[in-house]
Structure 1
Amino acid sequence: MRRDTPPRETVIRQFLERSGWGTARRRPMGADWSARRYERLALPGKGDGNGGGGATAILMDCRDMVAASQVPPFVQIAGLLRDCALSSPVILAGDEPQGLLLIEDFGDDDYARLLDGGDVPWGPLYEVATDVLVALHQRFIPATAPDLPRYDMGLFRDQVMLFADAFAPAVRGGTLPAGAWDALAEAWEGVLPAALTLPPSLLLRDYHPGNLMRLAGRSGVAACGLLDFQDGGIGPRAYDLVSLLEDARRDVPADLRQAMTRRYLAAFPGIDETAFAASTAILGAVRHARILGRVAQLAEATTGAPQLSFLPRVWGQFTGAIRHPALSPIAHWVERHLPANLDADTIVRSF
């Protein structure tokens, strides 16, 4: 006889009881683009609920099979980062089959809030974030994680084609002509090898201010807390630097981007800077194209989604990246198959 699945709230309460947090106050913290939900927990009389050093923790609640499948890699990569003396959350308790984790509370000082508040200089935050990548790429040994996904040409090609599946039809106002999808796939296959010439490292994938935390009481690279790395894998080292400096949600000044790139390269004098620049441009175009496709996909399902506001910025980043000579096949495809002179209003009205 089939047993009914307990309500989600019952599962969570049982998990918290087993973990010693059954009496904790619970405060929702919101969600991201997945089925993950977060709560801050504070044990009565101890934590003040704001990460100020009391008995607090974060509940990660992965509510469907896809989100729950990301719990084991989150735990694994958190351990790999700590092995590199970097600040990933300590796992306090977990029920991986149920998609539940109780993790260390890093507080409220995420880089996005600090940058957008206008009261904190940008330079020191970006310096630490860049130094984290330097430390990671100096310390991490790919052979220690043979089971992590490989961000190789096939994976990047598959991800970037969401641009043709969702974004291009939306701004065109109709489907692509026959052969256009295959032509773009072929163009990417010709371009991507130049992005993969540098030695690989641990790629965190969503390395941007919304997932970086300023941690009081820690120094050096340990002062930057790392979150949302469950989609990480082994891949080209330039990707996370691009993710940091070509931010979908805010304009990073050109002089700051250039300074952080020089800061990173100074730590690796053996890197061919021409090859690095080509890899950066290609991976930037890949990332921007994937975001454009993903947001277009979400907008189709949710009219008026708030993430539409940064589509024009990402489009500008994409068109800037494909000016690099290594991306001329992609630029030619865009010129041939997308409307000329797309502007912010046109892009937003397309969804």
Structure 2
Amino acid sequence: MSDLDRETLRLDFLKAAGLSDALRAPLPGDASTRRYERLTTPAGSTLMLMDQAPSAESQPCDPSWSPEQRHAKGWNAVARLSAGRIEAFAAVATHLRRVGLSAPEIVAIDAPLGLAVIEDFGDDLFAHAILAGQDERPLYRAAIEALARLHGDPVPDVLSGPAGDWPLLAYDETALQGGADLFVEWMPRLVPSLNLGAKAVADWQAAWAPIVRTGAEGASVIAHRDYHAENLIWLADRDGPARVGMIDFQDAVRAHPSWDLHSLLQDARRDVPPEVEAMALDHYFALRPKVDRAAFMAQYAALAALNQARILGIFARLIARDGKPRYREFMPRMWAHLESNLKAPGMEAVADWFARHVPAEARK
């Protein structure tokens, strides 16, 4: 579909939603195929137009597909699962609001077209607020309270929203290993000196196998999947965990409860001081006293390392394939997190693989 045809669909959708007179201001893009516009009505109120054309992505994962079928269908079926669909966003948003958290209200939606008008939470992203001088500790405490609320709620197999039901799939062994494998697929394309043949890849998968298995077996909560300071908005006029406005959760899955914690506290885009990470983890365990902290933290380090390998692979792909060199600036931070987690007990096999195959000069 041409840009002109897509614009015609947007205009027709906004007219049907009673918003044809709204002023439209595009927001900067990110690493996804999604785009947003801020809508300002004649009365001065604002909303967001969310545009995720279904044709821009491959199919989402069908719950009935085998691992072999998923690999044949492509990346979304292997690891991203929801393929960023609008109806997934609407269903997750409905669930988050049901448990007392802040997700944008869906004002209008056309799922087949991939268009929605949603509540505008404003621009007070955690990352921006902290840069402007706001104390980060209350923000991170509130973000932990939101996760504790989410993790204490029963996890349904199917979420319901204004665009219909959506299956909440598990971040299972296929998805976890598929994510990790982005590293061995894309890092050699960014760093040609890395020579990762079939034996190295087989050893990679064997080293991660017990961690992947533990992560899949522990998939017991809804995970946002991209829970960090640039996807959380401070809503100062709300109370408790609802002060944390959540966006970009369309890829939510059932996952290990450490997933969103290490995404937040070992952020790819900003340095979280060690004392803030420690404070946040203490707060989480205080709110969830039945959790075995020692066992949880072993899994936290292992799954954080897997996620960091995954993100390094994504960044390598964005740079090498998509021509987005700005993601290189985030890589040293991810390498630092990964190397720290590789020192944790139980990470010896993965650490040995890196020692054999990725020299220090390639870790930057």
TM-score, normalised to structure 1's length?
A: 0.89
From the superposition, tell whether residues 161 and 199 of structure 1 become closer, same or farther in structure 2 (CA, over 3 Å).
closer
* Maintained 8 Å contact 1:58/1:105: yes
Alignment partner, residue 85 of structure 1:
100
Residue 234 of structure 1 aligns to a residue whose secondary structure is strand
- What whole-Å deviation, never above 9, does each CA across 1:271-311 have from its counterpart, x for those lacking one? 11121011101110111111100110111124462111111
* Maintained 8 Å contact 1:88/1:225: yes
* Aligned residue among 24, 38, 41 for 2:39: 41
Coordinate RMSD, CA, aligned: 2.1
Identity among equivalent positions (%) equals 36
1:24 partnered with 2:27:
no
Q: Distance in 1 between matches of 2:15 and 2:189?
A: 50
* Maintained 8 Å contact 2:145/2:241: yes
Q: Distance in 1 between matches of 2:5 and 2:125?
A: 32
* Aligned residue among 279, 283, 290 for 1:270: 290
Q: Distance in 2 between matches of 1:331 and 1:163?
A: 14
Q: Distance in 1 between matches of 2:218 and 2:211?
A: 15
* Aligned residue among 110, 114, 121 for 2:129: 114
- What whole-Å deviation, never above 9, does each CA across 1:85-131 have from its counterpart, x for those lacking one? 110000000111111110000011111111122x1001000010010
Residue 168 of structure 2 aligns to a residue whose secondary structure is coil
Alignment partner, residue 138 of structure 1:
152
Alignment partner, residue 8 of structure 2:
10
Residue 359 of structure 2 aligns to a residue whose secondary structure is coil
> What 5-or-longer segments of structure 2 have no aligned partner?
58-82, 160-165
From the superposition, tell whether residues 181 and 252 of structure 1 become closer, same or farther in structure 2 (CA, over 3 Å).
same
Q: Distance in 1 between matches of 2:120 and 2:97?
A: 15
Q: Distance in 1 between matches of 2:283 and 2:84?
A: 36
Letter in 2 for 1:222: A
Alpha-carbon shift at residue 269 of structure 1 (Å) = 1.7
Alpha-carbon shift at residue 342 of structure 1 (Å) = 4.3
Alignment partner, residue 60 of structure 1:
50
* Maintained 8 Å contact 1:194/1:278: no
* Maintained 8 Å contact 1:92/1:102: yes
* Aligned residue among 266, 271, 279 for 1:246: 266
* Maintained 8 Å contact 1:169/1:176: no
- What whole-Å deviation, never above 9, does each CA across 1:69-99 have from its counterpart, x for those lacking one? 5111111100110111110000000111111
Counterparts of 1:309-324 in structure 2, within 5 Å, are 309-324=329-344
Residue 104 of structure 2 aligns to a residue whose secondary structure is coil
Residue 57 of structure 1 aligns to a residue whose secondary structure is strand
* Aligned residue among 155, 173, 181 for 1:161: 181
* Maintained 8 Å contact 1:26/1:41: yes
1:75 partnered with 2:75:
no
* Maintained 8 Å contact 1:195/1:278: no
* Maintained 8 Å contact 1:196/1:279: no
- What whole-Å deviation, never above 9, does each CA across 1:11-39 have from its counterpart, x for those lacking one? 10000000000000001112221111110
Alignment partner, residue 77 of structure 2:
none
Alpha-carbon shift at residue 213 of structure 1 (Å) = 0.6
Alignment partner, residue 52 of structure 1:
none
Q: Distance in 1 between matches of 2:348 and 2:6?
A: 50
Q: Distance in 2 between matches of 1:164 and 1:339?
A: 14
* Maintained 8 Å contact 2:156/2:168: no
Q: Distance in 2 between matches of 1:56 and 1:339?
A: 50
Q: Distance in 1 between matches of 2:219 and 2:290?
A: 11
Q: Distance in 2 between matches of 1:70 and 1:193?
A: 27
From the superposition, tell whether residues 340 and 60 of structure 1 become closer, same or farther in structure 2 (CA, over 3 Å).
same
* Maintained 8 Å contact 1:129/1:224: yes
* Maintained 8 Å contact 1:36/1:63: yes
1:338 partnered with 2:328:
no
Counterparts of 1:198-347 in structure 2, within 5 Å, are 198=218, 200-303=220-323, 305-340=325-360, 342=362, 347=364
Alpha-carbon shift at residue 178 of structure 1 (Å) = 3.5
Letter in 1 for 2:29: A
Q: Which 10-residue stretch deviates more, 174-183 or 78-87? A: 174-183
Letter in 2 for 1:61: D
* Maintained 8 Å contact 2:181/2:310: yes
Q: Distance in 2 between matches of 1:174 and 1:196?
A: 29
Residue 26 of structure 1 aligns to a residue whose secondary structure is strand
- What whole-Å deviation, never above 9, does each CA across 1:221-279 have from its counterpart, x for those lacking one? 11111000001111101100110100111111111101110110112222111210111
